[in-house]
Amino acid sequence: MTTTEAASVELRDLLLSRIRDVPDYPQPGVTFKDITPLLADPVAFNALVDALAGLCRRHAATKVVGLEARGFILAAPAAARAHLGFVPVRKAGKLPGETLGKTYDLEYGTAEIEVQTDAFAPDDRVLVIDDVLATGGTAEAALDLVRRAGATIAGVAVLLELEFLDGRARLAPALGGAPLEALITV
Ligand SMILES: O=P(O)(O)OC[C@H]1O[C@H](OP(=O)(O)OP(=O)(O)O)[C@H](O)[C@@H]1O
Ligand SMILES: Nc1ncnc2[nH]cnc12
């Protein structure tokens, strides 16, 4: 197990202690990383939001994207704490007006996500925040949407990276040199 400089050992240990492994969910063979105990702990949740807001500042983001649904829970308070606007990337069919869409593969299925075409200003630098990086398919699709919507990628920040699924390698071309920050890597 390793950690990046995005989180101290103490913060990493606190966050990790509040993430629960659920075997064979949502399908056999998948160990689901359940963050609900972390969200229910005000000290851990507040420390997590602080750390993510710090990454917004470190990477000079001007907007924060959250990925439906669990990404919303982390990205929206982090954006507010960093005094930045929040942009939702939603599962297909949920956003009104003109949208851009992208279909992608998940560890356990396929999905399509969308963003509103007018979500960003041309000079926006976007930090994409999600809870888990697994295969990297969701984050890769989100980066494609952000670019097509005309903004610059400031980086991707996740609470938890599942190293064995190699999402970091999959994401590298889409990041184009921008950082991938994982508070915890397992
Ligand atoms: O790196 P990947 O293989 O793409 O997997 C990571 C994604 O999977 C989960 O979302 P999910 O689509 O299960 O939706 P949820 O947040 O609505 O539960 C998780 O919240 C990430 O967004
Ligand atoms: N194993 C996992 N646990 C939690 N969220 C996930 N998203 C993709 N894979 C996941």
162 alpha carbon – ligand 1 mean position (Å): 12
2 found inside a domain = no
150 found inside a domain = yes
95 found inside a domain = yes
pLDDT value for 3: 39
pTM of the model: 0.96
Active site residues: 70, 107
Task: Write the CATH number for 159.
Answer: 3.40.50.2020
pLDDT value for 107: 64
> Which residues form the domain of 31?
9-185
- Give the position of tokens 């056999």: 28
149 found inside a domain = yes
3 found inside a domain = no
21 found inside a domain = yes
ipTM reported for the complex, 2 dp? 0.98
pLDDT value for 153: 98
pLDDT value for 143: 98
Q: Which residues of the chain have pLDDT under 50?
A: 1-4
Q: CB count, 10 Å around CB of 110? A: 9
59: Cβ contacts below 8 Å, ≥ 6 apart: 125, 127, 154, 155, 178, 179, 181
How many domains does one find in the chain?
1
pLDDT value for 106: 78
Q: Among 131, 133, 162, 171, name the best residue to mutate to test ligand 2's pocket (greatest count of ligand atoms within 8 A of Cβ).
A: 162
For helices 137-148 and 167-175, what crossing angle results, to 10°?
A: 10
